[in-house]
Structure formats: structure tokens, C-alpha cells
Amino acid sequence: MQLKIYQENAIDDLLIKTKRLLGYSGSKKLVFKSPTGSGKTIMMAEFLKQLVDDRPARRSPCLAGRQVGVGREVRQSLGFIWAAPRQLHIQSKEKLENYFETNRALKCFYFEDLDDRKISENEILFFNWESINKKNAIYIRDNEQDFNLSKVLERTREEDRKIILIIDESWFAAGAKDAKEEQAATKLRKDINADLTIEVAATPILKDPDDMVSIDLEDVKKEGMIKKAIILNEEFDKFIKSGKIYTNKLGDKDIKSTEELTITAAMKKRQELVEAYKKEKTDINPLVLIQIPRRIGNREDELRLEIEKILKSKYSITTEKGNNKLAIWLSEEKINRENVERNDSPVEVLIFKEAIAYGWDCPRAQILVVFREWKSRIFSIQTVGRIMRMPEPDKGHYKNEILNYGYVYTNLDNIEIQEDIAKDYITIYTSKRRFDPKLSLLSRYPKRHREKTRLSPLFQEIFLKQAKEYDLKRQIDIKARKFDLKIISDYKAEDVDALAGAKIVGDKEIKASDFDLQKLFDFFVRNNLTPFYPEDRSVKRVEESIYKFFESDWEKIADKWEEIVQIILSDKNSQHFVNVLGKAKEKYQAEVIKKESEMMDVGNWNIPETLSFGKEYSAVSVEKSIMQPFYNDEKWKSETTFINFLDKSEKVEWWFKNGDRDATFFAIPYDNGEKKPFYVDFIVMLKDGRIGLFDPHGTFLSDFGPKSDGLRQYIQSENKKGKKLFGGIVANTDQRDYRGRWIYFDKPNKDFKDNSFDNWADLIL
């Protein structure tokens, strides 16, 4: 699996912070905050693999460890415990075993399967968090075989093995249901007394962590791993209540209950998704999840029967053999559950209770129907999380925007979603294009690159070229070596990062071990990586580039790692490598800037079919917006008054309020030292066939000149191809209350006059 950029960054961060915390005495806690759908289990698997494979981490002199081989360095031995709620530990174990199948980096066990009744090196013990708190659990009870958790930990520590405890969905363990459970959870943490506890959750309950690694929700969305937003009760305003009957303006009649109304809206949306996926030519059958309440009495039984009756009578969806379009997933009943996660599964609807919320992964699930109040805020997020994932994460978001959202339908008056998700994720308004204007405009947006903060394979090519130009082979003295180093006798360098920026002056000479050389080499590279972030992947990229230089120029020592590092770090040679690295970084940055300014063309941009808005927006009554309803946040008075001006014009056929992100919205290129996209605020179609491109921010724009010239050049270029465009930066002669004339600037920036509108054109609409 190709890891996403944010996943690589998080793994790097986890490695750095884990190494640092393991170097301290006592029990430490690291919190890993990872949004639902971000792939936290895969990230943890790769993190653990890199941790046990990592040379500096396992050979650190500041970590007490067991001796491996006579005359060789001390290696750190690590064992792991993975605790999770409910049945999530089983799913996690299966995922990690699958991940480690080829490289065999770690072995996974349940408690009863442990070899020698201990956690051996690079082994992970999986267990269920709640069951360990039961008095008769095998983990804690005394027995004749001396086989319980306390004895397992004792035997493990006898081998000088450090223990890392991973608490998956840590909010569950930390937020125990009552005081007794909380006490039991606290006691268990204390009894395990791990050298490092890593608490993993989308919404962790923070209790004095020593450090934290956090993934931003927006980064996960940008990488196309999860939906852009969740839309709540889309188009419910089209249902009108008349007595006890709900009538849908779109054609459905005789909807006798809010349950039926909710299901009707959800199934209509599912059909739209089916058609959209067909146009994308991808074999995905979107799944509707219907959550029913836990059984308290007959009412819950009646609700389930009503749901199944509606699905059968209106949509021919049943559990019957030969149909198999309905699946049931309840603790007491499971029907058609096999392979329901497959993108091409025939199951269209899955009825479930809360059990589905924890750890279940079915990316084709895109619609959630809820019939009960979510009392637990955290549980509600877990449930919504089932429809956050994109079905084809390697492809990311689709061209058709309808496929990039999840949909929630409910008959509840109030829904409570945890704040950090709600403010960024829940969308409650949808606006739709009234008709297809078939604009086919040329739009441009910036191409995203990974190389801005880290080094790509391109760096090696540049480094070798710079080494040749510098004549590095002749400059260095291959006989100069660094065998010894001086240390401060009463100072411990527990982590290489702690040394960054420090000047070490030692008073005791020691012979450098392999680890010392590796540590000094890493430190040397990190110190010379600025302005790039000194994360492990970039450090390794530089080191590989230097090794490649020796491989091509000195075959005799190409495979002698210790000699190469001694040559590089010697007083006679180190500055030469610093010089070549400096030149290589400059050239690399120039290439990155060049790439960053690359623009992607959308040759036939058109008004989006749908747009979604959050709670900060409100509906505004306008006639000529091509998007209806029209939603506005009214941040800019200039925009609000300009909208009124457009809506009253007899010459305007329709107008579109543009956005400012990715390829969804219209942008033209402009140059402000580098190529950037200018998302012009308004696209206006006139009745005479002309298209106006207007941005009503007047002279308040900080980059007025470049944007004005960019827009002018774009209009001229496209008109030569047969377009009928005009426009420019728009201002009002009354810049306080906007009651004056609307004017626009369509001349070269060199003709712009401060504090004067003399050469601006009147916008007569």
C-alpha cells in the first residue's frame, strides 16, 4: 500500500517521539490523535515495523538492553501489548498479521498462545480491554501454571525487555462507564506499568500526556482518504407535511411516517450515487446503513418490521434467497453478512445496531439512516465514521462531486456531534445547479507536490551532479578518518534530536562504536538539512546520496559503511560535504519552486452540479443565482451589495458566486513572484451572450496589480479563441457604504492611479 503524505509524516513523528520517550526513566505516555478513516491501524503497523527495524532506536546506548553477541554493541529489546475494546482487538490482530505477512517484522499472539508464558522480542500480545477487568479473566487470576498477566510481565522484564502498551480507541478505556470500571482501568495501567503507553484514538481523552502526535482532518481529506463532508438530511425541505401524510414534490406520495420519509430520501440518494458511479466506470455498489435502536420493548421490534416492509414493498430489497439485497447485522442475528464489505457486493442496505460502530471497515458505505437519539457524543462519531471513507483511496476524490460526500438521514429533531468533527465535517445545506450552462471555460489550479518539505529521489541525482561539479573526489582526503570522539563525562546524549543546534565539547576520548558513528552521521546530516525538516526519510535520502557517491567513485570501500562514515566526519573532509550539500539543496529548492508553480489545466470547466455548506452559511433569497438555494456567509459587505446589484439587473441572465479551492471552482493564473491561482469571485452570464468575470474587492486586494493583470491577460487570450469575456477587479465609488457607481478596472496595472477612479470603466448592467 502506498502511504499518503500525512501518514508518512505521522509515522516519522511517532518514531521520533517514541525514541525520545523510551530514553527517559519511568513510565511515559504518548497520545496519537488520528481521525476516523485516516488509516490509523496501517500507520501503527508501519510505525511498529520501522521501530523494530530502526538501527539507531534499537542500538541506543541510552536505552538499557540485553547483550547480543560478544564484543558487539548493546541492542534494545522491545515487546508490545495491544489492548482494544469489544472485538476490535481481533480485527486489529488480523490486520497487523496481514501487514507483517511478508516481512515477518513482528509476531502477533493472543494471551493463551504466548510461547514460554512471556512476551518475547518483537511480539505483540492482543487482548480485549473490558474482559481484562473481569475478576475471573485468565489474564489476572492466579493458577497453578503461574500463567497470568502479572507473571507474563515479570518474565518479560527479566530479559531486560522494554514494554510498549498500545491502547487502541483509548477514549473507551479512559472513559469507563462508572467509577469501579475507571478504577479497574487505572489499576490495570498501573499493573502493566509499561515503559511507554501509546494511546490511539480519533477523539482521545487527554490526561497529562508526555507528548502527542496529531493528524489534521483537513490533511486526510486533501489526500482523498475520506469524504469531503457529511451532508445531513439533504433535500428534506422538498417534503411537505399534510395531516398525517408526507408528500415529496419530486414524485413520491403517501409517505405515512417520518421513518418512511427518511428511508425514501436515503434510497433516492442511493440511486443517484449508483448512476454517478456508473458514469465513473467503477464497479461500486453504494451501501445504505440503517441504524435501529437497542431493543427496550415491542416498539423497537415494530420499527424493524416497518423498515423491512418499506424496503420490500417500495424497493424490492429483502434478505430472501435470490434477492440478497438486504443484510442484517445484530448481535442475535446475522444474515447476508458474508463479503458485504466488497465494493461490488449485491447488498444494498444493511440494518444494524451499535455493534457495527467499532472498527468495521466498509468504504462503499455512503449513506447512514438513524432512528434514535445518539446519547454518546463519541459513539455518534464512531457511527458517522462508517461513511467517511472513500471506496477507492488510491484514486482519491472523484470528478463527480456527489461521490465525494457521505449522507446522513434522520427523523430526529436534534443530533449531537462532537465539536471537533462538527465544525469541520458536518454539512447541513446543499445547493444545486438549476440547469447546465455548458460554459467550457479554461480554468487552472496548482499541482500539488510532495517535495516541498521533504527530499524526493530527485535529490540524489542533484547531489551526485553537484559532487561532480565541485570535484568532490579530488577535494577529500580518503586517508583522513574519524576514529575517536570526545565526550563530556557527566553528560548523557539520550536522543539525537536533543543534540540539534548544540555544540558538544568533550573532555574524554573514546573509540567510536558503530552506533556512535551512525549517531554522529545522522546528527551531521540533520544539522545540514535546513530549511528541510530533519525527519528520518529525508535524513536517509541524504545518506543514501552520499553512499551512492562513494559507490560510483571508490568501489573498494563502497560496502564498508564504517570507513565511509569515518571519512565523511573527519575534520579534513566534513566541510567539503557541507559545501556540496548546500549547493544540492539550493538546486533542489529551485526545482521544487519550479514544480510548485506548475498549473494544471481544466479545459472544460463548468459550474458545479452541487455545492455543500456548513452551519455558518444561511439561505439568501435571490432570483438569478444559478445555484439554488443560494447560501452566503456574508463576510464581505462588498460581495453582498454586489449580489444585490447583479440580481436587480435586467441584462443579467444568471450569476455564479465562485469558491476558492481545488479544481471544483474556477481560477485563472497570475504571477506574484510565482504562479498562483486567482479564484475570481463572480461569473456572470449576460443576455447578450457575454460572460463577465468580476472580483468586487476593489483596491483592498493586497496583490491588486498581479491579479488585475492576470485576469486581463486571461480575458484577452480566451477572446482570441472565440470567447466573449470581459471584466476585471470591481469597486464601488462609495467604498464605505457601496451606494455609489459600480466600476471595474480592465487596463494594465501600470495605468492604475492611487486614490483615483478616473480611468476605471462603468459597469453598466
pLDDT in tens, 161-208: 999 999 887 655 554 444 555 665 666 677 789 999 998 987 777 678
What mean pLDDT do residues 135-139 have? 52
pLDDT of residue 440: 93
Q: Is the pLDDT of residue 484 over 90?
A: no
Q: Which set of grid coordinates corresponds to residue 374?
A: 445518539
Report H helices in 113-178: 149-158, 170-174
pLDDT of residue 181: 53
Q: Is the pLDDT of residue 422 over 70?
A: no
Q: Is the pLDDT of residue 648 over 50?
A: yes
266-270, 303-307, 630-634, 699-703: range with highest mean pLDDT = 266-270
Amino acid at 74: V
pLDDT of residue 558: 65
Collapsing DSSP states into helix, strand and coil, what is residue 42? helix
pLDDT of residue 300: 73
What mean pLDDT do residues 627-634 have? 90
Among the listed residues 47, 85, 39, 657, the one whose alpha carbon sits nearest the alpha carbon of residue 390: 39
What phi, psi does 461 have (nearest 5°)? -60, -45
Q: Is the pLDDT of residue 74 over 50?
A: no
pLDDT of residue 665: 93
pLDDT of residue 582: 92
CATH number for the domain whose boundaries are 5-219? 3.40.50.300
Amino acid at 350: L
More confident residue, 635 or 31: 31
Q: Is the pLDDT of residue 80 over 80?
A: yes
What mean pLDDT do residues 444-457 have? 68
Inter-residue contact 91 to 358 (CB < 8 Å): no
Inter-residue contact 231 to 402 (CB < 8 Å): no
More confident residue, 104 or 509: 104
Q: Which residues does 497 contact at the CB level (< 8 Å), separation at least 6?
A: 16, 20, 526, 534
More confident residue, 742 or 507: 742
Return the biggest CA–CA distance within the chain.
Answer: 98
Average the pLDDT over each of 65-69, 121-125, 661-665, 733-737 and give the range with the smallest value: 65-69
pLDDT of residue 530: 80
The total number of residues written for the chain in this structure:
765
Q: Is the pLDDT of residue 212 over 50?
A: yes
Ranges of each domain in the chain = 5-219, 224-427, 458-596, 602-762
DSSP string, 302-365: HHHHHHHHHHHHHH---SSTTT--EEEEETTEEES-TTTTSTT-S--EEEE-GGGGTT---TTE
Please tell me the distance from the alpha carbon of residue 397 to that of residue 225, in angstroms, as a whole number: 8
More confident residue, 255 or 324: 324
pLDDT of residue 182: 60
Full 3-state SS string of 76-134: CEEEEEEEECCCHHHHHHHHHHHHCCCCCCCEEEEHHHCHHHCCCCCEEEEEECCHHHC
pLDDT in tens, 596-620: 556 788 889 999 999 988 767 888 9
Please tell me the distance from the alpha carbon of residue 637 to that of residue 643, in angstroms, as a whole number: 10
| Cβ burial, residue 659 (10 Å; 0-12/13-18/19+) | middle
What mean pLDDT do residues 675-700 have? 92
pLDDT in tens, 336-384: 988 899 999 999 999 988 656 556 778 999 998 887 544 443 345 566 7
8-22, 391-405, 747-761: range with highest mean pLDDT = 8-22
What mean pLDDT do residues 53-62 have? 50
Among the listed residues 120, 128, 183, the one whose alpha carbon sits nearest the alpha carbon of residue 153: 120
pLDDT in tens, 231-242: 877 766 555 444
Inter-residue contact 260 to 268 (CB < 8 Å): no
Q: What is the residue-averaged pLDDT of the chain?
A: 80
Q: Is the pLDDT of residue 539 over 50?
A: yes
pLDDT of residue 538: 84
Please tell me the distance from the alpha carbon of residue 134 to that of residue 131, in angstroms, as a whole number: 5
More confident residue, 418 or 613: 613
Please tell me the distance from the alpha carbon of residue 433 to that of residue 400, in angstroms, as a whole number: 13
More confident residue, 525 or 69: 525
Q: How many CB atoms lie within 10 A of CB 690?
A: 15
pLDDT of residue 496: 22
- Residue that has been written with the C-alpha cell 493564473 in this structure: 669
pLDDT of residue 720: 95
> 708 falls in which pLDDT band (50, 70, 90)?
very high
Inter-residue contact 7 to 42 (CB < 8 Å): yes
Edge-first strand listing for the sheet containing 761-762: 652-657, 682-686, 691-695, 725-732, 742-745, 761-762
pLDDT of residue 683: 97
Collapsing DSSP states into helix, strand and coil, what is residue 497? helix
What's the predicted TM-score (pTM) here?
0.66
Q: Is the pLDDT of residue 10 over 80?
A: yes
What mean pLDDT do residues 633-657 have? 92
Report H helices in 616-683: 637-648
- CATH for the 224-427 domain, from 1.10.8, 3.30.1490, 3.40.50, 3.30.70: 3.40.50
pLDDT in tens, 275-296: 999 999 999 999 999 988 776 6
Amino acid at 251: G
Q: Is the pLDDT of residue 762 over 60?
A: yes
Please tell me the distance from the alpha carbon of residue 577 to that of residue 198, in angstroms, as a whole number: 39
Q: Is the pLDDT of residue 402 over 60?
A: yes
pLDDT of residue 500: 31
Query: Would you give the distance in Å from CA 164 to the centre of its chain?
Result: 25
Q: Is the pLDDT of residue 713 over 90?
A: yes
349-363, 405-419, 580-594: range with highest mean pLDDT = 580-594
What mean pLDDT do residues 59-64 have? 42
